[in-house]
Amino acid sequence: MPVKGDTSPNRWEHFPHDADVGIRGRGSTLADAFEQAALALTGIVTDAEIDPRTSVEVTCEAPDVEVLLVEWLNSIIYEMAVRSMIFGQFKVTLSNTRLQGSMWGETIDQAKHLPACEPKGATYTALRVAQEPDGTWSAACIIDV
């Protein structure tokens, strides 16, 4: 299970967009890339450490893996909003275009997490989920903030 700040080959990054933020997760498997994309989503909000105090489970389904990435990220955004939480660890299990996700985190605390901005929704812009020539997986899209 990847933890924020992990040094494994799995990793995430942000890429520029005029008004918003692009996120990209990379991993040795598609599920790893989805977990990394989730960490990139949290990275929009905060650089602070997050205690894995509470876990939340979600399931999503979509017609293809690209829309599934958007659904997964939007389900995290939803849980963040209604629970007023921030998540620092994710676990994804995939079976075709059905996803089972677990996330661990804590109640957001302005003093501790210094949240920069709130993700409004994952978009289909710059949406790309693909296996790269080197065999690793990449999962990317723009997040409206």
Interface positions with another protein (CB under 8 A):
14-21, 45, 47, 67, 70-71, 74, 77-78, 81-82, 84, 107-110, 113-118, 120-125, 127, 142, 144-145
**Minimal distance in Å, beta carbon 116 to another protein?**
4
Please give the Cα distance from 22 to 40 (Å, whole number): 9
The CB-of-108 to another protein minimum distance in angstroms stands at 4
CB of 16 or CB of 135, closer to another protein: 16
Structure tokens at 43: 């990275």
Shortest reach from residue 89's CB to another protein, in Å: 19
State the nearest-atom distance from the C-beta of 135 to another protein, in Å. 27
Nearer to another protein, 84 or 131 (CB): 84
User: What's the min distance (Å) between Cβ of 5 and another protein?
Assistant: 17
Q: Which is nearer to another protein, 12 or 32 (CB)?
A: 12
Smaller CB separation from another protein, 17 or 91: 17
The nearer residue to another protein, 1 or 114, going by C-beta atoms, is 114
Per the structure block, which two tokens stand in for 75? 């389900």
DSSP per-residue letters across the chain: --BTT--SS-EEEEEE-SSSEEEEEEESSHHHHHHHHHHHHHHHH--S-----EEEEEEEE-SSHHHHHHHHHHHHHHHHHHHTEEEEEEEEEEETTEEEEEEEEEE--HHHH-------EE-STT-EEEE-TTS-EEEEEEEE-
